[in-house]
Structure 1
């Protein structure tokens, strides 16, 4: 059976904590493309979101939960798919054997040493198969089983890949600020 048959359409809300430099572009994956991330190599845009705002806060703090940095927390309306649920151990095993090895991979250390990052290989495979994103457990310091992220590789403002920031009162700036 193709993995794509295991995909699902995510409908609901997700959250994302933005560095103030990116609050003018909450639907952009440019920051992730510039630096790479656990599930995207440099050059591939990705939108990292969380199912709970608490998780978005943990993720945005970059491992410093007791040294809080300013951020803009946004909520997104989502109707996007197909996504693959990598929170399911059976699906993890189908994607690649030994999920404990790659689900907790020290991807940043590998990136810095210019070694292959397994998660990037998996992302490339899933994108090629037609997935728009994945649902994965958070690896942030302090994360628990309740902390789940959704990473989008393909999104737009319309269904079937809709991921739109909720800003009914137009509070987000439309231009970059002078924030360093």
Structure 2
């Protein structure tokens, strides 16, 4: 499918100068990317972006930079659609797996396996329900493995007023 419109991401302010890098995910890994594979985790709603960013801080909300992204991205697999999951041979349990525990044991989480399989088949990203605590049916994420500033895989941070910093010098 082709995903168009806006998505959102709340991230550590330290990285405000590179809101579309995906390097944090490459460094640490994530639910849908093993270490070494860059990924850009975004959400379809502002509220979901905030929920996702605060998972590690359940009692105190931490400062975040909230960005909107313009999207015109082809080759996105809609894993919120049961028929699409069935067609692709993806079980809901693979999406919801305890990926961190599995990876910590030295095994490959099913969610990494499906991400690598979809990427190899030409997918640029996925739509998938949020697994954040308190997430509901409206909380959907868009995870990108291939993105650029222009179509067919456009995912570009909105910064028309040029407010984002150009480098990380404010953090030294």
Scaled by the length of structure 1, the TM-score of the pair is 0.91
Pair 1:77-2:70 in alignment: yes
Unaligned residue ranges in structure 1 (runs of 5+): 1-7
- Return the offset for 1:100: 3.2
**Whole-angstrom distance in 2 between the partners of 1:65 and 1:169:** 32
Residue 17 of structure 2 corresponds to which residue in structure 1?
Answer: 24
Residue 129 of structure 1 corresponds to which residue in structure 2?
Answer: 121
Cα deviations by residue, 1:16-63 (Å, 9 ceiling, x for unpaired)? 001112111001010000000000000000000000000000011124
1:171 counterpart (154, 157, 163): 163
Residue 5 of structure 1 corresponds to which residue in structure 2?
Answer: none
- Return the offset for 1:178: 4.8
Q: Is the 8 A contact 1:63 1:141 kept in 2?
A: no
Give the alignment of 1:1-180 within 5 angstroms: 8-96=1-89, 99-179=91-171
Q: What number of residue pairs does the alignment pair up?
A: 172
Q: Is the 8 A contact 1:82 1:132 kept in 2?
A: yes
**Whole-angstrom distance in 1 between the partners of 2:162 and 2:168:** 15
Cα deviations by residue, 1:75-132 (Å, 9 ceiling, x for unpaired)? 00000111000001122223235x2321210001111111121111111111111110
Unaligned residue ranges in structure 2 (runs of 5+): none
Q: Is the 8 A contact 1:156 1:164 kept in 2?
A: yes
CA gap of 1:54–1:124, structure 2 versus 1, over 3 A, is: same
Scaled by the length of structure 2, the TM-score of the pair is 0.95
**Whole-angstrom distance in 1 between the partners of 2:137 and 2:58:** 17
Equivalent position SS for 1:136: strand
